[in-house]
């Protein structure tokens, strides 16, 4: 990726410092709504952005291919496209593929080739890799493309969802990708760019793996140890940004290790040892001790607020002393998370409830499942 990163760096010579913005809207009933709402919400925080990155994740946007893996790809060269398609065809049947629709937007420049594929894993690959789940095979596919095919990058790889991102202000990126024409039951968005890395399309937020997506405000100073820890489980961090580790940690802890979001909060935003030792609740104290011993390398150091999502949930999480802002609100079936209250009130003027989540405590929205005319929360 060196060539295109140098090209983008030459254009964006001055990297203005500013505060990242994140926002998310989920309809827990599964009702889909236009991307216009999330675009207005993130645009409200334009002063927190700097034009070096913006992006969105959307869930429920491909109902006609809901059971297929959907890869959103970025290509720097035609050669990278050809190599990637050749690689994919060895493992998957390409059910459908097309260029991702865009519209001309003056503020969006130096775009890569943007393509999407709807894939079905070949039965032969399932038999050959009988010791792996289908999700494991897809993760390995993403890691291999990002690591080994120069000029190719997987932006997202889940089912019935997609990540749309690039260099620009988020509202310009949304306009570019025509997100007002999509409908989803869950949207997240990000403005600005990773704190210490050069601007390039693949490095903008959100970051994803399978149906996970993560947007992040802050800086992860534990990136080095988090990266080495994840490598033990087959994850390769190749995107030159600290946020990448958060997406992979959610996949590892929830999908592979079966932890609840509450426990993930205790791992990623673990209390200080001194705070743990002062707890009077012995069971809680022993649990937190155990988690810190087992998952010490997964602890996220540094200031952060995060919105993570998958096909059934949206989760907001702050660092353990809340060094970055996060506001939550609910109104009917809608859950809102954002860096600023204004971003929520722009799209929901009078929410039923609005609050500031506690440091290190996840705020969780879960998709309802309809059965026999009733709804229940999916856990």
Say if CB 60 and CB 32 are below 8 A apart.
yes
Q: Which residue has the tokens 């970025």?
A: 74
* Residue 348 is among the residues annotated as catalytic for this protein: no
26, β-bridge pairs? 186, 335
CA angle 157, 162, 168 (to 5 degrees): 115
- 20, 44, 237, 348: which one is catalytic? 20
Say if CB 330 and CB 245 are below 8 A apart.
no
Burial per residue of 292-329, b for 16 or more beta-carbon CB atoms within 10 angstroms, e otherwise: beebeebbbbebbbbbbbbbbbbbbbbbbebebbbbbb
List, in order, residues 6 or more apart from 337 with CB less than 8 Å away. 22, 23, 24, 307, 314, 316, 326, 327, 328, 363
Sheet with 212-218: list strands edge to edge: 207-209, 212-218, 304-309, 313-318, 363-366
Q: Which residues are catalytic?
A: 20
């Amino acid at each position: 990726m060196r060539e295109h990163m140098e090209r983008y760096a030459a254009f964006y010579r001055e990297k203005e410092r500013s505060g990242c913005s994140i926002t998310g809207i989920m309809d827990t009933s599964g009702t889909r709504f236009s991307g216009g709402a999330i675009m207005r919400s993130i645009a409200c925080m334009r002063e927190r952005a700097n034009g070096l990155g913006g992006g969105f994740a959307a869930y429920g946007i491909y109902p006609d291919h809901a059971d297929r893996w959907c890869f959103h790809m970025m290509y720097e060269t035609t050669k990278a496209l050809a190599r990637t398609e050749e690689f994919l065809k060895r493992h998957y049947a390409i059910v459908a593929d097309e260029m991702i629709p865009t519209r001309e937007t003056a503020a969006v420049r130096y775009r890569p080739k943007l393509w999407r594929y709807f894939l079905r894993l070949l039965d032969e690959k399932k038999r050959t890799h009988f010791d792996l789940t289908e999700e494991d095979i897809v993760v390995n596919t993403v890691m291999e493309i990002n690591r080994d095919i120069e000029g190719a990058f997987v932006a997202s790889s889940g089912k019935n969802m997609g990540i749309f991102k690039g260099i620009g202000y988020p509202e310009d990126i949304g306009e570019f990708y025509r997100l007002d024409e999509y409908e989803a039951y869950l949207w997240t968005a990000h403005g600005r760019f990773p704190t210490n890395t050069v601007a390039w399309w693949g490095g903008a937020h959100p970051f994803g793996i399978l149906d996970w997506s993560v947007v992040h405000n802050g800086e992860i100073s534990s990136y080095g140890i988090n990266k080495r820890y994840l490598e033990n489980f087959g994850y390769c961090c190749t995107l030159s940004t600290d946020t990448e580790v958060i997406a992979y940690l959610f996949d590892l802890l929830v999908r592979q290790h079966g932890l609840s979001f509450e426990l993930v909060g205790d791992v990623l935003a673990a209390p200080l040892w001194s705070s743990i030792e002062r707890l009077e609740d012995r069971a809680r104290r022993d649990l937190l001790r155990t988690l810190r011993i087992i998952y010490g390398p997964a602890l996220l150091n540094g200031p952060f607020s995060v919105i993570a999502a998958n096909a059934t949930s949206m989760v907001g999480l702050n660092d353990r002393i809340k060094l970055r802002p996060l506001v939550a609100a609910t109104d009917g079936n809608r859950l809102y998370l954002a860096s600023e209250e204004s971003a929520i009130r722009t799209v929901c003027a009078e929410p039923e409830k609005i609050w500031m989540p506690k440091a290190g405590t996840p705020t969780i929205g879960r998709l309802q499942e309809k059965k026999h005319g009733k709804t229940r929360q999916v856990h």
